[in-house]
């Protein structure tokens, strides 16, 4: 009797359907930032570049998972690719500080053991997400900042670059425009976006990982650090609940503890992923007039891509479906 029950359960699990509930494993979701991203503000060529980059990143991460790689491996592979794409605010193409330099933040979390790593305010580490993972697995710490983080990355043999490596003509132009005239202002362009990149992956073994990488906010000052490298704010992963990566106005995401709030609602409030994500973005963040979005996935591969801005660069891929989206109406 017991044997028959076990056999039926295994057969259902293999077919991806346990007691009417679909399990999509492995699966991956990504974002490339939220903001005032509207059809009439994006050229056709830029739209094609963005859609292709998002699709390539999804494919890279999903290939890792399909080949039996871990969720952490998939997050690293996906985010590294997005960091190297100059259209996103992470790695090459990251926004500039008020004094025209780049200071990068990133974090990664493994939901299987709640291990996590982060770097903040780094200027010469080529891949901040790789540095974050190295902090997680090769140091006893969770977050390293500034010069110490760079020294650690160097000692670990990570690729280092000059700070100007991250500058692109597009970002330089935005910075120049924002510094015309007296003082400095955040650019007044109608098309504004946060542009941070993030990924949540669920591997074949049911492990969830999440990661986020960013240049922060344009014209930030005084060593400002946003939510992206802060575990619980911009990134969180727990196999028991979900993985989350955020993009938006970091100061608010830190104050709410957005990523952990979503996880906690599931753990302690018994909410579904959908209920938790929608509450945090559409009620809690919106109630504070805070802009941004989140991507999140639970242990069964259910996912949510929620934002309170006109658009968010985003996508998902699992065994049965995949899609890349930009605008509110896709
Ligand atoms: N959340 C990031 C920050 O505040 C910005 C972004 O999402 O692009 O640093």
Ligand 1 environment, Cβ below 6 A: 33, 89, 194-196, 214, 216-217, 226-228, 247-248, 250
- The verdict on whether 48 is a catalytic residue reads no
Question: Which residue positions in the chain have pLDDT lower than 50?
Answer: 11, 14-15, 184, 186-188
Ligand-binding site membership of 98 (annotated): no
Distance 130 CA to ligand 1 centre (A): 18
Q: How remote is the CA of residue 313 from the centroid of ligand 1, in Å?
A: 14
Ligand 1 centre from 215 Cα, in Å? 7
Question: Per DSSP, what are the bridge partners of residue 220?
Answer: 97
Residue 243 marked ligand-binding: no
- Please tell me the predicted confidence (pLDDT) of residue 289: 96
DSSP annotation of 285: I
What pLDDT, on a 0 to 100 scale, did the predictor assign at position 6?
A: 56
Tokens of residue 230, six digits: 């802060």
Token pair for 46: 């830029």
| The pLDDT of residue 187 | 46
Strands, E assignment, the chain: 17-18, 21-22, 27-35, 104-110, 115-122, 143-145, 197-202, 208-214, 235-237, 242-248, 292-298, 303-307, 311-318, 322-327
The catalytically annotated residue of 70, 134, 167, 196 is 196
31 touches 297 (CB < 8 A): no
* Rounded distance between C-alpha atoms, residue 18 and residue 2, angstroms: 17
Ordered by where they begin, the domains of the chain are 23-180+189-327 (3.60.20.30)
Residue in 120, 196, 223 to alter for ligand 1 test, most ligand atoms within 8 A of Cβ = 196
Among all chains, which residue has been given the structure tokens 């924002």? 178
d(CA 196, CA 295): 12
pLDDT value at residue 241: 98
pLDDT for the residue 56 = 98
- Ligand 1 mean position, distance from CA 193 (Å): 9
Atom of ligand 1 nearest to the CA of 224: 9
How many helices (H) and strands (E) would you count in the chain? 10, 14
Best CA proximity match to 63, nearest among 322, 325, 302: 322
d(CA 77, CA 129): 9
Q: Please state, in angstroms and as integers, the Cα–Cα distance from residue 195 to each residue in 113, 119, 225, 266, 300, following that order.
A: 29, 18, 16, 28, 28
Task: Determine the pLDDT at residue 291.
Answer: 95
- Closest atom of ligand 1 to 234 CA is 1
């Amino acid at each position: 009797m017991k044997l028959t029950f076990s056999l039926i359960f295994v057969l259902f699990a293999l077919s991806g359907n346990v007691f009417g509930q679909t399990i999509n494993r492995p699966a991956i979701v990504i974002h490339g930032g939220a903001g005032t991203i509207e059809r009439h503000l994006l050229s056709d060529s830029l739209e094609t570049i963005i859609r292709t980059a998002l699709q390539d990143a999804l494919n890279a991460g999903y290939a890792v998972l399909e080949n039996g790689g871990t969720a952490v491996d998939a997050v690293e592979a996906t985010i590294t690719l997005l960091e190297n794409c100059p259209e996103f605010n992470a790695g090459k193409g990251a926004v500039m500080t008020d004094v025209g330099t780049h200071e990068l933040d990133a974090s990664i979390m493994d939901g299987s053991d709640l291990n996590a790593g982060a770097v903040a305010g780094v200027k010469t580490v080529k891949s901040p997400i790789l540095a974050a993972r190295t902090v997680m697995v090769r140091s006893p710490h969770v977050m390293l900042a500034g010069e110490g983080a760079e020294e650690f990355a160097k000692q670990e043999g990570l690729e280092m670059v000059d700070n100007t490596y991250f500058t692109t003509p597009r970002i330089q132009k935005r910075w120049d425009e924002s510094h015309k005239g007296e003082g400095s202002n955040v650019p007044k362009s109608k098309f504004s976006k946060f542009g941070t990149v993030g990924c949540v992956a669920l591997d074949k073994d049911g492990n969830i990982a999440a990661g986020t990488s960013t240049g922060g906010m344009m014209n930030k000052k005084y060593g400002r650090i946003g939510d992206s490298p802060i575990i619980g704010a911009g990134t969180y992963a727990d196999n028991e609940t979900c993985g989350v990566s955020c993009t938006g106005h970091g100061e608010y995401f830190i104050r709410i503890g957005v990523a952990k709030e979503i996880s906690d609602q599931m753990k302690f409030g018994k909410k579904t992923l959908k209920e938790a994500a929608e509450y945090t973005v559409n009620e809690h963040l919106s109630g504070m007039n805070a802009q941004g979005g989140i991507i999140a996935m639970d242990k069964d591969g259910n996912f949510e891509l929620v934002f309170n801005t006109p658009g968010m660069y985003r996508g998902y891929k699992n065994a049965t479906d995949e899609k890349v989206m930009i605008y509110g109406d896709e």
